[in-house]
Amino acid sequence: MTVERPFLPEAGRELIGLVREIADGELVPRVAEFEAEGRFPRDLFRLLGRAGLLGLPYPEEFGGGAQPYEVYLQVIEELAARWLAVAEGVSVHTLSCYPVAAYGTETQRKRHLPDMLGGELLGAYCLSEPQSGSDAASLTTRAVAGADGWRVSGTKAWITHAGQADFYNVFCRTGGPGTSGISCLLLDAGTPGLQPQAPERTMGLRSSTVAQIVLDGAPAPADRLVGDEGGGFRIAMSALDGGRLGIAACAVGLAQAALDYAVAYARERHQFGRPILEFQGLGFMLADMATQIAAARSLYLAAARLRDAGLPHGAEAAKAKLFCTDTAMRVTTDAVQVLGGAGYVTDHPVERYMREAKVLQIFEGTNQIQRMVISRSL
């Protein structure tokens, strides 16, 4: 089913039309093969970049699309409905451009953003560590100051695009313990001592490369400090507000794909002499799925409008991430149930949707962390 988006401006409707054309023509034919083989679709990110989709919410003066978040997130949703790993990759890349865009000096913006947003480069965001996940302020990767900058040593974990990215935002300790000792450094992929490890063997999103990054005395020149020294934690938390909205949109797109497939199957599958969609028990299940998706979409769009208006939206982003990803988990699980035994085999994509939905409740802050953010705001 094509999702109606009646409140988009004309330019936004044209953009969504372009995204659907690219997604249906380039993503849909490849997703099953790449997911089954665990292959990273680097060429597709270049294609999306050349179409202007890797810098949508950033200023035109630096090569971005100057699109409001409300439009950008609907692009993410459309991509996720075809191939979640690609949509998640676009969201992560957008997140990875944020530190320089929001906190970089004018010189840094002019030097780095055109390439970051231009479509040829891909970014990564290095915050988590093996022993520092939800407790991000306890990270131990350290940058030691020298005459010409820093030397960075430590291990980053669960890094999307590890080994595939062209640049890495590395959050590391340049000072003492606590949040005030954390800074953000921008490192190129070819930096000596920056060593991507073997990819993790994941439950879902198998075409998305995720791995540890080992830093062994990796040099970072002084001009690669993004923001103030000691201001890295503030950058990281600010970036995650936008990242959580990206994951919320991903979740809605995935849930919509699951619903669409389940409805189509229920129309065609006959038992007791009629389509199973006509049985009330199944029809009510699909009705609940559709309602949850509509509510989730409204929630992430409401948070996006706050962001676009320059209003506080941290708690609303957490609510959207929490509700949308929980919805995706419920809807994809129910989609498997609608298909019955057929939903449990790889002949149909709903088993993949269910596996993929799980991680949406975990990254960009677990849903338990989202509940902490929301409860504190009360």
Question: Cα 15–13–114 angle (5° rounding)?
Answer: 25
75: nearest Cα among 61, 91, 99:
91
Three-class DSSP category at 194: strand
Closest CA to 128 of 102, 105, 95: 95
- 376 close to 104: Cβ distance less than 8 angstroms: no
- How far apart (Å, rounded) are the C-alpha atoms in residues 346 and 236? 38
Cα distances from 168 to residues 126, 190, 212, in angstroms, run 7, 10, 12
The candidate with the shortest Cα–Cα distance to 171, out of 101, 224, 242, 92, is: 224
Q: How far apart are the C-alpha atoms of 188 and 192, rounded to whole Å? A: 9
Tell me how crowded residue 154 is: count the other CB atoms within 10 A of its CB.
21
CA angle 291–269–279, rounded 5-degree value:
55
Amino acid type, 56:
L
The question of whether 61 is a catalytic residue gets the answer no
Q: Pull the structure tokens for residue 336.
A: 């498997």
Structure tokens that stand for 326 in this block? 């929980």
Q: What are the residue numbers of the active site?
A: 364
